[in-house]
Structure 1
């Protein structure tokens, strides 16, 4: 039984699970060494971007001029086979490597009159995303490769040969009949029902009733009376057996003269057409004498001998024509201005009368600069890429300036990968982002622009420099960061960051460390924006109204039900819709977070009892308030937010005299929490709210929960930890509530969800908190989410919309006294999308066991996840 089970497992893995199609090797042929160098740079970039779904990519130069498509294909197949043999450890050429290989040979074609890079690499005016989410320009090469990859996935192992002298586009899904995939076919060629007028400039297949090829006509008027003809597409599929036979020709004279073997043995080159020599030899019913002895122009003895060998090897082949549903087709000859206009009209459906009208859509550099034709081919490719990158930078600038909800990482990733060929490309991108960051006088987009620089640096490190999250207080960046904190010196700060960055570009480790400092720079602007709207919601301080009594405050913790993460700055201030549903709960009948403050007439300064920490100067409080990893930092940040001590105070005595009688010279603060650190129940924010409430009460300040909500958000900005507003809203405001951030009024709005006592009792009797025993690193999770938000990662933006909408749905059910089980399940799924890996395996297993056993309706980790409590 075990053996059978194992067999079924491996069978399902091997056969039932469809694996993404991948070429074994893609080979691009070029006519000469100059073209090879230029094309190699281009295709290597596209391969790294994921546009070429292949294990390997090589560029093969024809061994001599005028080989023709057949000669170039045979030489390419020889070189490809040698590469595969070497890769697999063979010391001699062996055809066995073809048995399990999918190989594409793509001919890069001729130069195009107005773009020397050729029609294959002409930019078609739009872009596409690879499966890796990287943007690449949509060229004929990329379009054809995508269609060929989809087509080849319908066939078994073998060799594919494709030309680039024509543009063709399949409409809808690519479908292949079972008759076409019949493994008995020796060859499969591809065609489509084309307008008969194209027969005068292209090839037409002659087919029998079974769609077998019986001949080829070229540039003929014989089909003028027909409506449609089976036009030749320069696409061929050779199953392994046929490919092996084709490969064997490399050692047969005079066909060996098509390969570098023959050339290196001193033989002159031989021109061979893939269609009129090879395919025609394999056509059904072709007469030997007609094929071997007749040709245009007249054949010499060597060519006739070559044709005889081809006929002998392939005349018994079964060559089948497969019809594709081609919606658009264009042949790039003759390569003149009229041809370019015709191509544009066909490819887009937008009619243009002259090439000047299309120059902004497809890139035809020779139209604008006649000297382009005199440039080296490598320089022409570079010019094409520069045109594309400049267009992308314009788009990046518009997205940042208008703060569009648009993902920029695909562009950044592509340009960084182009840096492998030219380091100036990512440097130009970095320079551009700094200019955008500094150009806006209000600096409203500076945070996203600087965060984009951090993303670029992270990409340049190629994941070899460590984790993106880490310390960001290196003395080398400190002067620049200080300048950014002052509104009058922001431009100087951006320039200082840029100047310092030049010292951090040489190693992956330094790139990552620099990226952390750029994220810290972006956080400065987030803190400034949060501070501005929070200060508007603080209570009015009344001097000399403090008292001498001991103050005690306690607070509930919060259970998040839906919408978490939409409360997190800067997301909450920039996203269109925020909504959080949570509730305040006691633990075992007790509010778990407490604070007690004793005013002192004998001990000066601020004494924190649990930490045995004495703060005697304002400088100590200021210095500790932004170091969240050090004990006492939360209390120091809360003291600053309360207004008890200000940055301009020269002594604590001066600060205390503003609020208390002269005999109060210090305070003693005691805090208590029955919850463990990293519980996920919002403990640190709720502790800050509790300390703040106690301080304001001691100071004689009149305040409400709205003041608390905003002041705690301010405290977290002082701490530099970030964090959202749902914790303090959930704990400080009792009961069940739904809360939003209003972009219009720039404030947190909370609405109580009224429900009857029976529903409340049901929740109290059924809700169970289980401590997982693992603390979570909320700050690291938060940094990753904010990072993804700044880059507008589409997975994050979609999930945030889902979170907010789901919270609204949960609130509607609660108003009807129905606990939103399905909505909570969706909330937990969305939380795990926001922070992948935040659910420990043992927690997942525990939830599953509890569900299978029938003990629970729903379970979810508290807060951001990663540990803490399980509801």
Structure 2
């Protein structure tokens, strides 16, 4: 991996750099495929089943859950589930039909596909496939085998064909709130419950990880845990090609919960991140052993642990300072996490906040802040309206899910 990267940089050979990232994807996919198995015991147990999941905000450790960093060093993340506009916006519904076929219907993407043969469902790896996520889910859950078999036989054994409806409502693209991975988690959870497959939280996380590798998205593992499980979670993994995720539900004093409910504010920037090579840039700096990147990735994990410590003892002020420090570290990992608009937003409310951080990778989507004591959401909204007037910048309707 590093040999190809160094050669690519020294020789200015894009093909060598591409080979570096191909190796990462190939190794992860090979390890994942080995663990997949066809589940011949699955049976449709209900005519219709719906799963709704919240989103998540990342508080500490983001980027440490991303391959290959987590594979070589392990990762540590602290995040919490949220409602947006009072809703759990990620929804997946499975519905039994008499016809022996599988139908995918994605209302928010406005795509619809019907399959009565198995080969197209077993075909993965096409980044432009509108149903890549749904296919990866059925493969990861063992509903569809990797190769062989007839779809008609599989569906007859299951007890019928089915439609998979999926939708994310009222969440802008590039939000930074973990939408795509949480949608994967909702698909896996819905399939398990629809087909009577018993599972634990750990099973759910592992199967979503498998989905991510089948789709070759290259992303980390924190988002699906953040949305699939309510509350505040401290999530970690040990080094290894196969990431085994340990999730600890963090309990904090009731007074700290109430204080966070009052002081935590989500702000929409009105813009979507445009940098297409974000993941490649961040991974490239890590693989290239850039000192700033290595320091920040190590420090980010420590910051997540310290955040947990401060919240468990009810110190929201201490948590806010750590959030601010995390923002400094995030800019070392990825300079593109900030831009002129984000800096203007933070600057306009500087004297009203004690802590700040972008959501997800940043560069757009949502920002999160911890207000100073005595400052209200309305105060922040008024200030943003004065500065940014008729733009989309504003305070979002957000609630932490404890």
TM over 0.5: yes
Cα deviations across residues 129-173 of structure 1 (Å, max 9, x unaligned)?
xxxxxxxxxxxxxxxxxxxxxxxxxxxxxxxxxxxxxxxxxxxxx
Tell me the SS of whatever aligns to 2:52. strand
Structure 2: how far apart are the matches of 1:742 and 1:799? Answer: 19
For residues 617 and 817 of structure 1, do their structure 2 counterparts lie closer, same or farther at Cα, with a shift above 3 Å needed? farther
State the number of aligned residues. 362
Partner of 2:377: none
Partner of 2:265: 768
Partner of 1:698: 194
1:593 deviates by: 0.9
Which residue among 832, 837, 855 is the counterpart of 2:331? 832
Partner of 2:43: 545
Asked whether the 8 Å contact 1:452–1:790 carries over to 2, the reply is no
For residues 674 and 564 of structure 1, do their structure 2 counterparts lie closer, same or farther at Cα, with a shift above 3 Å needed? same
1:528 deviates by: 2.7
Decide which structure has the larger Cα Rg and report it: 1
Asked whether the 8 Å contact 1:740–1:749 carries over to 2, the reply is yes
Asked whether the 8 Å contact 1:608–1:632 carries over to 2, the reply is no
Structure 2: how far apart are the matches of 1:752 and 1:607? Answer: 34
Partner of 2:69: 571
1:802 deviates by: 0.5
Question: What pairs with 1:432-451 in structure 2 (closer than 5 Å)?
Answer: 448=1, 451=2
1:707 deviates by: 1.3
C-alpha RMSD over aligned residues = 2.3
Structure 2: how far apart are the matches of 1:677 and 1:527? Answer: 27
Q: Which runs of 5+ in 2 are unaligned?
A: 369-402
For residues 746 and 647 of structure 1, do their structure 2 counterparts lie closer, same or farther at Cα, with a shift above 3 Å needed? closer
2:151 corresponds to 1:652:
yes
Partner of 1:519: 21
2:220 corresponds to 1:720:
no
Tell me the SS of whatever aligns to 1:614. strand
Tell me the SS of whatever aligns to 1:551. strand
Partner of 1:622: 122
Question: What pairs with 1:348-359 in structure 2 (closer than 5 Å)?
Answer: none
Which residue among 741, 752, 755 is the counterpart of 2:252? 755
Partner of 2:341: 842
1:542 deviates by: 6.0
Asked whether the 8 Å contact 1:859–1:870 carries over to 2, the reply is yes
Which residue among 345, 349, 357 is the counterpart of 1:860? 357
Tell me the SS of whatever aligns to 2:271. coil
1:869 deviates by: 0.8
Tell me the SS of whatever aligns to 1:586. strand
Hey, which of these two has a bigger chunk of strand by percent? 2
Cα deviations across residues 447-491 of structure 1 (Å, max 9, x unaligned)?
x2xx42243123322xxxxxxxxxxxxxxxxxxxxxxxxxxxxxx
1:667 deviates by: 2.6
Tell me the SS of whatever aligns to 2:355. coil
Asked whether the 8 Å contact 1:556–1:585 carries over to 2, the reply is yes
For residues 861 and 544 of structure 1, do their structure 2 counterparts lie closer, same or farther at Cα, with a shift above 3 Å needed? closer
Structure 2: how far apart are the matches of 1:668 and 1:743? Answer: 35
For residues 613 and 773 of structure 1, do their structure 2 counterparts lie closer, same or farther at Cα, with a shift above 3 Å needed? farther
Partner of 1:674: 170
1:525 deviates by: 1.3
Tell me the SS of whatever aligns to 2:94. strand
2:3 corresponds to 1:457:
no
Structure 2: how far apart are the matches of 1:641 and 1:530? Answer: 9
Structure 1: how far apart are the matches of 2:274 and 2:30? Answer: 25
In the superposition, the TM-score normalised over structure 1's length comes to 0.40
Q: Which runs of 5+ in 1 are unaligned?
A: 1-447, 462-510
Structure 2: how far apart are the matches of 1:849 and 1:715? Answer: 41
For residues 721 and 688 of structure 1, do their structure 2 counterparts lie closer, same or farther at Cα, with a shift above 3 Å needed? same
